[in-house]
Amino acid sequence: MRRSLRLLSLSACVAAALAAGCKSETAPPADGAAAAPAAAKPAAAAEWNAAVDAFLQGYFERNPVAAANAGKHEFDGKLPDYSPQALQANIQWLRQQRDAVAAFGDDRLDAGQRFQRDYVLSTIDGQLFWLEDSGFAAKNPSFYLGDLSPSMYLTRPYAPLQQRMAAFVAYQEALPKAAEQIRGNLKGPLPATYIDLGTMGFGGMAQFFKNDVPQAFAEVKDEALQKRFAASNAKAIEAMQGLADYLTQQKPQATQDFALGADKFARMLKATEGVDLPLDQLKAAGEADLARNLAALKSACEAFAKGQTLQACVDKAGADKPAGGAVEGARAQLAGLRQFVVDKDLVSIPGTEQAKVEEAPPFNRSNFAYIEIPGPYEKNLPSVYYIAPPDPNWPKAERDAYVPGKADLLFTSAHEVWPGHFLHFLHANRSQWKFAQLFVGYAYTEGWAHYTEEMMFDAGLDGATPEIHIGQLTNALLRDVRYVSAIGLHTGGMTVAQSEQLFKDKAFQDPGNARQQAARGTYDPGYLNYTLGKLMILQLREDWTASRGGRGAWKAFHDQFLSYGGPPVPLVRGQMMGGKAETKLWTAPAVGAPTTAPAAAPAGAPEAAAPAGGAAK
């Protein structure tokens, strides 16, 4: 995936979180956890459940978009208050909530509730970082773009079209005030990449409202509603285009001042992901993963395109395009991916839901692919895997190169749907604790989805041929360069141009993707979480399965891992290993060193146990 599913920048974290239900159920003790003490006293349990309920209800009220996206449609049409006063009040409320949650000491809670408490505290810490410490409300359009997306009303059939149209009209009527507040908050000078993001996002919404939305509601016969729609639509177009024009006017004063700095970057990782390793160790781990995947690509290319350069090899694999384009190609891949998961018995698939594949709307094309999954309060609604077409303004050669080859697309589809994001949320939405259905962390969800690409290759997907391996590795290298770029851009003085070149040289990205990826690193500093999450999951799998049969325990590991919802991975490690929350990253074994003992392999799986991209198969 080239875009985060529920990116936990504030607006998306809100969307992933708030949508929750207020059903207070205790999470079961994790398998392998330390023996639980006596159950909490009934009075303490009731107080804890009430505290969580109060947090969720307050969060709904302050973040109505997240509530509506979760399926709480009494919040339809509402937008948050983005005024400086409201943002500060939200900070104060979060601090008060944190104090109230932290007041539940270990002696008042059982083992499951202690995990819940730490999960809630980590969520609040992440929210406070984005609201207060990051400074994004004052300069980063991505802080707002998630909340402003109208996709829910147009693409999710949660109610009859006329009812959704009425909600959409209310949303449009709220946009001018929101746009005025956003414009007041985004004070220049702004980084050039932030200006470009806002111009594209807000301007794309204006064009979408003008060209596409009227047709979406054309069949509704309510004349009064249509008249109200026409009026609100004109004002919404004006508001969004006005924001885009305002940002365009900032271009002469544009800066390159996007870096968080080492201290703030480290605070981001601690607050949002519970990761507290020194930056030099984090950097070394990412560089090592980049090196192992480059070495594996060289080996695969020796078999696939012997004597050619790595770039020529990748181009050869990329030239094998999916029939009918990326959208049609992805549709054709999903059934096979699901069947492979079933045949290899890799992870449980709860339910019978399927995901649709569609072209991404014009206002959300800053990355190649993403998936939208209905919140836990929705029933029997489809998830949609969106794929962006190339920018029509690019040269034809760049537009053609932007469409991935079949092998590359296969692992994007694995990441987004089977067994990546979509399967993750099939599990998360069945959690016994509603909070875990709502708050899903960046490194957990993107780490899982990226991890599954490598795991699927290791299990023999499509014969694990050299061409298929190249498809998996190009996806891995993309995430490795994101990791290195995030640290470089925000802590090491790396320029956007240097990051762009790195995506071309080490991840073999086409010019359009390289530009997008380098720019994204400036306004999404957490996009190292794909590789960071994967490395934490790989190490946890190695440690957990070591005493449970090695590779034969993969399915049990996957099911157990997915049972937690989406907390920081170090917190999951503490639950699964029966100890404290801690950060441990997997590193490839030295050349010639033995890999993890495979023990009993799943039926039909290759015998090699090392993650793909490491030792030769």
Q: Is the dihedral of CA 445, 451, 456, 459 positive or negative?
A: negative
Assign residue 81 a region (left: φ > 0; alpha: ψ between -120 and 50; beta: otherwise): beta
Position 610 confidence tier, pLDDT thresholds 50, 70, 90? very low
6 has a pLDDT exceeding 90 = no
Neighbours of 493 (CB within 10 A): 9
Percent of the chain with pLDDT strictly greater than 90: 79
Give me the DSSP letters along 61-111: HH-HHHHHHTT-GGGTT-----SHHHHHHHHHHHHHHHHHHHTS-GGGS-H
End-to-end Cα distance, the chain: 25
Q: Is residue 556 scored above 70 in pLDDT? A: yes
CA dist., res. 433 & res. 557, Å (int):
20
* pLDDT level of residue 379 (50, 70, 90 thresholds): confident
d(CA 452, CA 45): 37
Residue 328 has pLDDT above 80, yes or no: yes
**Would the pLDDT of 612 be above 60?**
no
CA 587 to the chain's CA centroid:
23
**Crossing angle, helix 406-416 and helix 442-458, to 10 degrees?**
130
**Confidence (pLDDT) at 442:** 97
Q: Coil, helix or strand for 594? A: coil
What percent of the residues of the chain are helix, what percent strand, and what percent coil, each to the nearest 5? Answer: 65, 5, 35
- C-alpha to C-alpha distance for 224 and 207, rounded to whole angstroms: 24
Whole-angstrom CA distances from 593 to 597, 610, 615 are: 12, 11, 9
Domain locations along the chain: 8-22+36-134, 138-259, 277-577
Please compute the mean of the pLDDT values over residues 583-602 and round it to a whole number: 56
pLDDT at 597 (0 to 100): 33
- 217-236 mean pLDDT: 98
Q: Is the pLDDT of residue 40 over 80?
A: no
Position 351 scores a pLDDT of 87
Residue with the larger pLDDT of the pair 178 and 362: 178
Residue 447: phi and psi, rounded to 5, are: -65, -45
pLDDT higher than 90, residue 5 = no
The sign of the dihedral angle between the CA atoms of 287, 291, 296, 297 is positive
Mean pLDDT of 555-565: 97
Q: Is the peptide bond before 189 cis (omega within 30 degrees of 0)?
A: yes
Please state, rounded to an integer, the average pLDDT across all residues of the chain.
88
Cα 212 from Cα 226, distance rounded (Å): 15
State pTM to two decimals: 0.88
Mean pLDDT of the 334-338 span: 96
pLDDT at 512: 87
What percentage of the chain has pLDDT greater than the value 70?
88
DSSP assignment letter at 191: B
Question: Among 117-131, 139-153, 459-473, which is the least confidently predicted range?
Answer: 139-153
